[in-house]
Amino acid sequence: MVRDILRKYGIRGGNHDQHFLVDEHMLDRIVNAADIQPDEVILEIGAGIGNLTERLMVHAKKVIAIERDPALVDVLMNRFGGTEKLEIIHADVLDVDFPKFDKVVSNLPYSISSEITFRLLKHEFSLGILMYQYEFAERMVARANSGDYSRLSVNTHYFADASIIMKVPRGAFSPPPEVLSAVVKLVPRPSTFKVLDEKYFLEFVTAVFGQRRKKMRNSIIRNKQLLGIPDMREFINELPEEMLGKRPENLEPAEFAYLANLLYRHKQGI
């Protein structure tokens, strides 16, 4: 049935992240994982031809679908136009303000997955069931001392609990992408550690992972201007040596927060 819709509307995909999920069993598994309640509003980013949209509407009070491709917006309007259970926003997701929603369930455009994810995490919602490129998903859920541990891992851990709940083969899409995919369960929560300034903390993590093969001491010194501490060579000895001697991939998220807080206090003179 899903493949028939592609043929009916002459949609080929393959451009601009357009790989449509057509495996009906996988679509059902994604919707089931979201555990949608009748009073919930669901946000869908990159609705495409509405394969997932159709299933979400069965369970939700309302689905808000964001789609930038005018041809796909026309398909959505032809398939679902007139129902009060669907609001279609024709826009680039990076340019639009997110409306209020309870959960987000989406096959995200892979090329802008990071930007979308961290925009989402600045909003209040209870659950995300989100499809990513598999390698990206692995970095999201990675822990310290693993090869996939990165800035993305630390930042995700700061905002939410994340876990890979299913792998998605290439053949589940039309046309098949060149990469494997995975669905991530994202549960926002208050941070498990304290940061004095969120923006400074995130910039600090980005800066040191930009030189991930260097030990923290050298990386912090090299980023003294970005971190706002010109006298870093004098101040660096006041930081814990057991952390300075590690590489970024060996520090726990809470250790990044501890160092960032010390640097921020010094920068602010507090």
Annotated binding site: 19, 21, 46, 67, 92, 107
CB contact at 8 A, 206 and 150:
no
CB atoms within 10 A of CB 175: 15
What beta strand segments (E) does 76-200 contain? 86-90, 103-107, 127-133, 160-168, 173-174, 181-188
Helices 151-159, 134-141: axis angle to 10 degrees equals: 60
Residues flagged as binding site for S-adenosyl-L-methionine:
19, 21, 46, 67, 92, 107
Q: Are strands 127-133 and 160-168 parallel, antiparallel or unpaired?
A: unpaired
DSSP string, 196-208: S-HHHHHHHHHHH
Q: Encode burial over 154-166: b for 16+ CB neighbours within 10 A, e otherwise.
A: bbbbbbbebeeee
CB contact at 8 A, 162 and 140:
yes
If you count them, how many residues does the chain have?
270
For residue 149, give both structure tokens.
Answer: 């541990």
